[in-house]
Amino acid sequence: MAKQLLKLRNVPVDELAEIYELLESHEVEFYETSAGNWGISMPALWLVNEEDYTQVRTMLDEYSEQRYQRAREEYQYLKETGKVRTFMDLVRENPFKVGLYIVIVFVLVYFSIAPFINIM
Protein backbone atom coordinates (compact mmCIF):
# COMPACT_ATOMS: atom_id res chain seq x y z
CA MET A 1 0.00 0.00 0.00
CA ALA A 2 1.19 3.54 -0.71
CA LYS A 3 2.55 5.71 2.08
CA GLN A 4 2.71 9.49 2.18
CA LEU A 5 6.29 10.67 2.01
CA LEU A 6 6.07 14.45 1.86
CA LYS A 7 3.38 17.12 1.86
CA LEU A 8 3.98 19.57 -0.98
CA ARG A 9 2.04 22.62 0.16
CA ASN A 10 4.36 25.68 0.09
CA VAL A 11 7.34 23.66 -1.19
CA PRO A 12 9.46 25.83 -3.54
CA VAL A 13 9.69 24.67 -7.15
CA ASP A 14 13.49 24.33 -7.05
CA GLU A 15 13.34 22.16 -3.92
CA LEU A 16 10.67 19.96 -5.49
CA ALA A 17 12.82 19.52 -8.60
CA GLU A 18 15.79 18.49 -6.44
CA ILE A 19 13.62 16.00 -4.53
CA TYR A 20 12.36 14.48 -7.81
CA GLU A 21 15.94 14.18 -9.04
CA LEU A 22 17.02 12.56 -5.77
CA LEU A 23 14.20 10.02 -5.80
CA GLU A 24 14.64 9.20 -9.48
CA SER A 25 18.41 8.81 -9.15
CA HIS A 26 17.83 6.23 -6.40
CA GLU A 27 15.12 4.54 -8.49
CA VAL A 28 12.41 5.07 -5.89
CA GLU A 29 8.87 4.44 -7.10
CA PHE A 30 6.64 7.37 -6.18
CA TYR A 31 3.76 9.45 -7.43
CA GLU A 32 2.38 12.91 -6.78
CA THR A 33 -1.13 14.02 -5.87
CA SER A 34 -2.13 17.56 -6.76
CA ALA A 35 -4.01 20.19 -4.80
CA GLY A 36 -6.94 19.82 -7.17
CA ASN A 37 -8.67 22.42 -9.28
CA TRP A 38 -9.55 24.63 -6.32
CA GLY A 39 -6.34 24.07 -4.36
CA ILE A 40 -8.12 22.64 -1.31
CA SER A 41 -6.77 19.08 -1.44
CA MET A 42 -3.41 18.13 0.04
CA PRO A 43 -0.66 17.91 -2.60
CA ALA A 44 1.83 15.23 -1.61
CA LEU A 45 4.44 12.73 -2.73
CA TRP A 46 3.57 9.11 -2.07
CA LEU A 47 5.77 6.03 -2.03
CA VAL A 48 4.44 3.07 -4.00
CA ASN A 49 6.23 0.55 -1.76
CA GLU A 50 5.68 1.16 1.93
CA GLU A 51 8.73 -1.00 2.74
CA ASP A 52 11.03 1.68 1.28
CA TYR A 53 9.71 4.38 3.61
CA THR A 54 12.43 4.26 6.29
CA GLN A 55 15.28 4.31 3.79
CA VAL A 56 13.74 7.08 1.67
CA ARG A 57 12.78 9.14 4.74
CA THR A 58 16.41 8.99 5.94
CA MET A 59 17.57 10.05 2.48
CA LEU A 60 15.14 13.00 2.46
CA ASP A 61 16.18 14.05 5.97
CA GLU A 62 19.83 14.12 4.86
CA TYR A 63 18.89 16.14 1.77
CA SER A 64 16.89 18.56 3.92
CA GLU A 65 19.84 19.11 6.25
CA GLN A 66 22.17 19.72 3.29
CA ARG A 67 19.72 22.21 1.76
CA TYR A 68 19.43 24.00 5.10
CA GLN A 69 23.22 24.28 5.37
CA ARG A 70 23.47 25.63 1.80
CA ALA A 71 20.81 28.24 2.51
CA ARG A 72 22.54 29.32 5.75
CA GLU A 73 25.90 29.61 3.98
CA GLU A 74 24.35 31.65 1.17
CA TYR A 75 22.63 33.94 3.68
CA GLN A 76 25.87 34.43 5.63
CA TYR A 77 27.72 35.25 2.40
CA LEU A 78 25.08 37.79 1.40
CA LYS A 79 25.13 39.25 4.90
CA GLU A 80 28.92 39.60 4.87
CA THR A 81 28.92 41.24 1.44
CA GLY A 82 26.03 43.55 2.37
CA LYS A 83 23.67 42.19 -0.26
CA VAL A 84 20.89 40.99 2.05
CA ARG A 85 17.58 42.68 1.27
CA THR A 86 16.47 44.97 4.07
CA PHE A 87 13.22 46.77 4.83
CA MET A 88 14.66 49.94 3.32
CA ASP A 89 15.37 48.04 0.08
CA LEU A 90 11.70 47.10 -0.04
CA VAL A 91 10.71 50.74 0.57
CA ARG A 92 13.02 51.90 -2.24
CA GLU A 93 11.68 49.27 -4.64
CA ASN A 94 8.00 49.99 -4.06
CA PRO A 95 7.31 52.91 -1.69
CA PHE A 96 3.60 53.14 -2.52
CA LYS A 97 2.95 49.50 -1.67
CA VAL A 98 4.84 49.71 1.64
CA GLY A 99 3.07 52.96 2.54
CA LEU A 100 -0.31 51.43 1.73
CA TYR A 101 0.41 48.42 3.95
CA ILE A 102 1.44 50.71 6.81
CA VAL A 103 -1.76 52.74 6.46
CA ILE A 104 -3.85 49.55 6.41
CA VAL A 105 -2.15 48.34 9.60
CA PHE A 106 -2.82 51.65 11.37
CA VAL A 107 -6.47 51.63 10.27
CA LEU A 108 -6.92 48.07 11.53
CA VAL A 109 -5.26 48.91 14.84
CA TYR A 110 -7.39 52.04 15.19
CA PHE A 111 -10.67 50.19 14.63
CA SER A 112 -9.53 47.35 16.89
CA ILE A 113 -8.74 49.50 19.92
CA ALA A 114 -11.10 52.47 19.40
CA PRO A 115 -14.08 50.86 21.21
CA PHE A 116 -11.96 50.35 24.31
CA ILE A 117 -10.56 53.86 24.61
CA ASN A 118 -13.57 55.89 23.38
CA ILE A 119 -11.75 57.69 20.55
CA MET A 120 -14.73 57.63 18.18
Give per-residue pLDDT as tens, 14-58: 999 999 999 999 999 999 999 999 989 999 999 999 999 999 999
Give the C-alpha separation, 2 to 31, whole Å. 9
pLDDT band of 113, cuts 50, 70, 90: very high
Give the C-alpha separation, 117 to 114, whole Å. 5
With a pLDDT cut of 90, the percent of the chain lying above it is: 92
pTM: 0.73
47 Ramachandran zone, left/alpha/beta (phi>0; psi -120 to 50): beta
